[in-house]
Amino acid sequence: MSVTVQSVLDRVQITLQDTTGVRWPAASELILWVNDAQREIALFKPDASATNETITLVDGTKQTIPSTGNRLLSVVRNMSDTALNNGVGKRSIRIVEREVLDAQTPDWHDPTVSGDAAHGSTVKHFVYDEADPRNFYVYPGVSGSTHIEIVYSANPATVTDSDDLAVPDIFANAVYNYVLYNCYMKDAEYTGNNQRAGNHYQLFMASVTGKSQLDQITNPNANASTNAANVAVA
């Protein structure tokens, strides 16, 4: 069962001993901080808002993720040109360094290039620059209708008190602590509130960054090199 926004607001108001929302109104303040929390989580932990989607590429090499996205996370594979949401998977797509392509085929962006870099309907590789997180380049470039499956970090949907959280349930405590951080910062001039705010922000960051560390430990890709070697031997 998904965690509701209202359940988080209830916990916050109980902690604040303000269940009627007199000092910290739920509709005009708390809900805004819930949405701020979700965006902060997506910023610090992009895969918290990971979205898997089949997109249609534009002609050429430069591509952009959907307008709702913050950054590209991965490019998976080519997809069939029918039933975009349930298309048939085709050739996998691997990341490559731009310097390699630039050195081997300097004209790979040119739509008139020939040979292996000739623009067509199947993507073999993609290039990604973290300094430009919403854009990526495909090799070879495409001409005509080409569809690929990507994973990107989306902007969390703006929620109201009647919605579920737009981030995974596991981040409910992080949202709770971020809202309390803002509540106490509002009254930071009162004794102890500045410290309380700092404590809740630390708990928020611990939830988000701790999840990142756990993901690294339990990441199935950790043994990818060993498994690849075993597959090659087999």
CA distances from 53 to 71, 85, 151, 153, 200 (A): 13, 7, 6, 11, 35
Beta bridge partners of 128: 136
Name every residue whose Cβ is closer than 8 Å to that of residue 173 and which is 6 or more positions away in sequence. 203, 207
Residue 137 has pLDDT above 50, yes or no: yes
* Residue 21: exposure state from Cβ atoms within 10 A (0-12, 13-18, ≥19): middle
- Model pLDDT for residues 92-125, shown as the tens digit of each residue: 999 999 999 999 999 999 999 999 999 999 999 9
The pLDDT value given to residue 234:
42
Q: What are the sequence ranges of the domains in the chain?
A: 5-46+159-216, 49-154
The pLDDT value given to residue 189:
86
Q: Quote the percentage of the chain above a pLDDT of 70.
A: 87
- Model pLDDT for residues 177-212, shown as the tens digit of each residue: 999 999 999 988 888 999 999 999 999 999 998 765
pTM: 0.84
Q: What is the overall mean pLDDT for the chain?
A: 90
Residue 8, CB-side half-sphere exposure with 13 Å CA sphere:
33
The pLDDT value given to residue 214:
60
